[in-house]
Amino acid sequence: MHQRPFTSAFSRANPRIMSRSAFLREAEARGFLFQCTDQEALDNALSNGTVSAYTGFDCTADSLHVGHMMQIMLLRLLQRHGHRPVVLLGGGTTRIGDPSFREEARQLLTDAQIAANMDGIRANIEPFLTFGTGPTDATLVNNADWLDTLGYIEILREVGVHFSINRMLSFDSVRTRLEREQGLTFLEFNYSILQSYDFRELNRRLGVTLQFGGSDQWSNIISGVDLVRRTDGKQVFGFTAPLVTTASGAKMGKTAKGAVWLTAEKLSPYDYWQFWRNTEDADVGRFLRLFTELPLDEIGRLAALQGAEINEAKKILATEATGILHGRESAEAAAETARRAFEQGEAADTLPSVAIAASELAEGLPILRALTVAGLAQSNGEARRLIRGGGARVNNEAVTDEMLKLSPADLQDGAIKLSAGRKQHRLLKPV
């Protein structure tokens, strides 16, 4: 059967369209909307009833990180406006790995690793959404429920016939890999087909009509929209958010010390608070709009602060963002710990602590090792540069001697306070 060309209305967000739905208006105002399929029709659907929308998370690690926050906050915003968020865990697609804009294939995980990662991701998302059985309560599903039983011939006949190899080769994510002569396995090439199948399956099972994703997922999302139209004759929608980088061009969710995890066991609430506190001045307004729920007029006031006053806006950003994930009590405790550490120079008990063997301290603990063990430097070389730059401190006193050795005499209230600059602190505790 001849397939007519793909002609659905896919474009960047159209600022000339005055959205009627409260969700779209706020999503646009806060900076979530980058691309959208048939924005007017989506606006009508959102204005005339409850829409179910989903975002997928592959289970490649046991925790999500700040780089996932755009999608999580988008689901949260959707629910606040009376619609239903659906969280899709990629128990099936994780076995393949999304090749989008990756320089090499992902390492394949075992079923046991994927199951453990799913548990961690489920725990990450629960603070953000209200789960239940009501019409706007969030639902969590696993695509392994249908992909594990999908036959190869079935997928070729039902779905594969609707995909053009020429078009798939035109996807930016695929073309980038091929242009770099890094290759793309047949396993990875099937990822887009399975993601499209997910959209159709969620539409059939749960009535999902909207898929969220980052702008790097645009090709995969519109493939799913097209599949549902071709096979089921239904209109569904795609919505992408911009990929967030900092004003200096750094990738959101990554720091020199690694990923900014959402799991408290991997990154303490205090360190999570510090991540947001260290936001660049130029990013404060944007991050307040995206990662907090403060009113937009209040955000405008905070973003307009200048000079030293912008630091107060950063503290509010840190407390609001940390409160959504870890709870208000933990957020305010982190803010108070920071205040005591920075403004009063105290070694607050609630600062992140690192254990060190008492025998090692008794023998004389080299300052370079102390800084690396505490996570304030990634190597001895970085620790030396920190000292030479005047950024290393022990109990609030600057360190100038790279050969310094710490001893039990440096303990204050059972711990040694180590600092890297004014914002990073650790308590070294002998055990």
**HEC secondary structure over 314-353:** HHHHHHHHHHHHHCHHHHHHHHHHHHHHHHCCCCCCCCCE
Q: Which band of pLDDT confidence, cut at 50, 70 and 90, is reported for residue 145?
A: very high
Alpha-carbon span 188 to 97, nearest angstrom = 6
Q: Which of 323, 349, 375 is the last residue of a domain?
A: 349
Q: Which residues pair with 138 in a beta bridge?
A: 131
Is residue 417 annotated as involved in ligand binding? Answer: no
Mark whether 339 and 391 lie in a shared domain: no
Q: Is 270 annotated as ligand-binding?
A: no
CA within 13 Å, CB half, 142: 16
pLDDT at 344: 57
The domain that holds 36 is classified in CATH as 3.40.50.620
pLDDT, residue 356, reads 86
Q: Is 254 annotated as a binding residue?
A: yes
**Which range among 108-112, 232-236, 268-272, 400-404 has the greatest average pLDDT?**
232-236
Q: Are residues 43 and 182 in the same domain?
A: yes
Residue 17, pLDDT score:
65
Of 349, 370, 399, the last residue of a domain is: 349
423 vs 62: which has the higher pLDDT? 62
For 230-291, give the DSSP string: HHH----EEEEEPPPB-TTSPBTTEETTEE-BSSTTTS-HHHHHHHHHT--GGGHHHHHHHH
Higher pLDDT pick, 330 / 248: 330
DSSP 8-state code for residue 160: G
Closest CA to 363 of 398, 329, 407: 407
* CATH number for 371: 3.10.290.10
The 10s digit of each residue's pLDDT in 95-110 is: 775 544 444 445 678 8
Of these ranges, 219-223, 290-294, 401-405, the one predicted with the greatest mean pLDDT is 290-294
pLDDT of residue 101: 40
191 is in an annotated binding site: yes
Residues 6+ apart with CB under 8 A from 258: none
Range of the domain at 413: 353-430
Spatial neighbors of 140 by CB under 8 A, at least 6 apart, are 86, 87, 89, 122, 125, 131
Residues 34 and 153 in one domain: yes
User: What's the mean pLDDT in 198-209?
Assistant: 97
pLDDT beyond 80 at 30? yes
More confident residue, 247 or 272: 272
The structure tokens listed for 279 are: 């936001």
Confidence (pLDDT) at 413: 64
176 in helix, strand or coil?
helix
CATH number at residue 329: 1.10.240.10
Q: How many domains does the chain have?
A: 3
301 and 221 in a common domain:
no
Contact status, residue 37 vs residue 211, Cβ threshold 8 Å: no
Per-residue pLDDT at 348: 54
Q: Compute the average pLDDT of residues 148-160.
A: 83
In a domain, 12, yes or no: no
Query: Does one domain contain both 110 and 177?
Result: yes
Same domain, 296 and 316: yes
pTM for the model: 0.77
pLDDT digits (tens, 9 = 90+) for 346-362: 555 667 888 888 888 88
Clarify whether residues 334 and 363 are in a common domain: no
CA 419 to chain CA mean position, Å: 27
Q: What's residue 359's pLDDT?
A: 87
318 and 212 belong to one structural domain: no
Query: For the ranges 81-85, 181-185, 197-201, 238-242, which has the lowest average pLDDT?
Result: 181-185
Which tokens sit at 182? 């890094």
